[in-house]
Homo-oligomer: A and B are copies of this chain.
Amino acid sequence: MRVEIWSDIACPWCYVGKARFEKALAAFPHHDEVEVVHRSFELDPGRAKDDIGPVIPMLAKKYGMSEAQAQAAEDNLGAQATAEGLVYRTRDRDHGNTFDMHRLLHFAKEHGRQGELIQALYEANFAEEASVFTGDERLVALAAAVGLDADAARKVLADPTAYADEVRADEREAAQLGATGVPFFVIDRKYGVSGAQPADVFTQALTQAWGERSPLTLIDQSAGEACGPDGCAVPQS
């Protein structure tokens, strides 16, 4: 079974939802047979790469609220993150464009380190004091810390076209699947879970999807030439 998770590093509910999903997955009896793939989704794709600033004034402006109200909302979010056992800094976080992080996540996927890198990026963005938006070298260090080659990661970041198509393809697919926000979880392209639902909703989704796996429909009932334990079909000359 395969679970695809569309998310953005700048999305607090993605950080929280991932923890809730992973809690459900760890307790799921067939978790060894579940593959998790991370897909790209940018909350703020139009934001300039150098347009980086603190989260609270950005939130206040976006929602037309005071900075005190924005800070209260962020504090509430932090409390929900803490309840999931996550570290969440409610002060002095930055906001910015995450396109390069998504490109780097596709590079990491090619090298079998996507799960490790996305967790490192979330922690860097939500739990650590140093901003994750300070440029390529910060991202290179995070990539290297999860076992990726630093020089190769640096080259990916320096070339804005590297893995750009892969990010855009994920985003197109999110739209096709009807996802308007993240996190968005898709099981075997059949079941969806929208948002940072409680762990028991993920448990229900995994259980339902597992139980309702349908038998394959064979496209051509006449089996083509094949090999099996008793040998191979012998071609007719």
Q: Which residues of A contact B (CB under 8 A)?
A: 1-2, 8, 10-14, 16-17, 32-33, 43-44, 59, 62-63, 72-73, 75-77, 79-80, 109-112, 165, 169, 173, 177-178, 180-184, 186, 188-198, 201, 204-205, 208, 213-220, 223-229, 231-237
A59-B231, A77-B235 known; 7 new pairs, CB 8 Å cut-off, are A14-B227, A17-B226, A110-B112, A186-B216, A194-B224, A196-B224, A204-B220
With contact pairs A2-B2, A178-B215 given, residues A226 and B76 touching in the complex (Cβ less than 8 Å): no
So how many copies of this chain end up in the complex? 2
- Tell me if B219 and A204 are in contact (CB < 8 A): yes
- Tell me if B223 and A195 are in contact (CB < 8 A): yes
Q: Which of B43, B208, B220 contacts A219 (CB 8 A)?
A: B208
- Tell me if A218 and B194 are in contact (CB < 8 A): yes
The docked-state distance in angstroms from the alpha carbon of A190 to that of B227 is 22
- Tell me if A63 and B231 are in contact (CB < 8 A): yes
Report B-chain residues with C-beta under 8 Å of the C-beta of A214.
Answer: 190
The docked-state distance in angstroms from the alpha carbon of A8 to that of B214 is 25
The docked-state distance in angstroms from the alpha carbon of A108 to that of B90 is 41
Q: In angstroms, how far is the closest chain B Cβ from the Cβ of A215? A: 7
The docked-state distance in angstroms from the alpha carbon of A192 to that of B189 is 16
- Tell me if B191 and A189 are in contact (CB < 8 A): no
27 intermolecular pairs with C-beta atoms under 8 Å apart: A1-B189, A2-B2, A2-B189, A11-B226, A11-B227, A12-B232, A32-B169, A43-B228, A43-B229, A63-B231, A63-B234, A76-B234, A79-B237, A109-B112, A111-B112, A178-B216, A180-B228, A181-B226, A181-B227, A183-B226, A186-B216, A188-B188, A191-B218, A194-B226, A197-B220, A197-B224, A198-B224
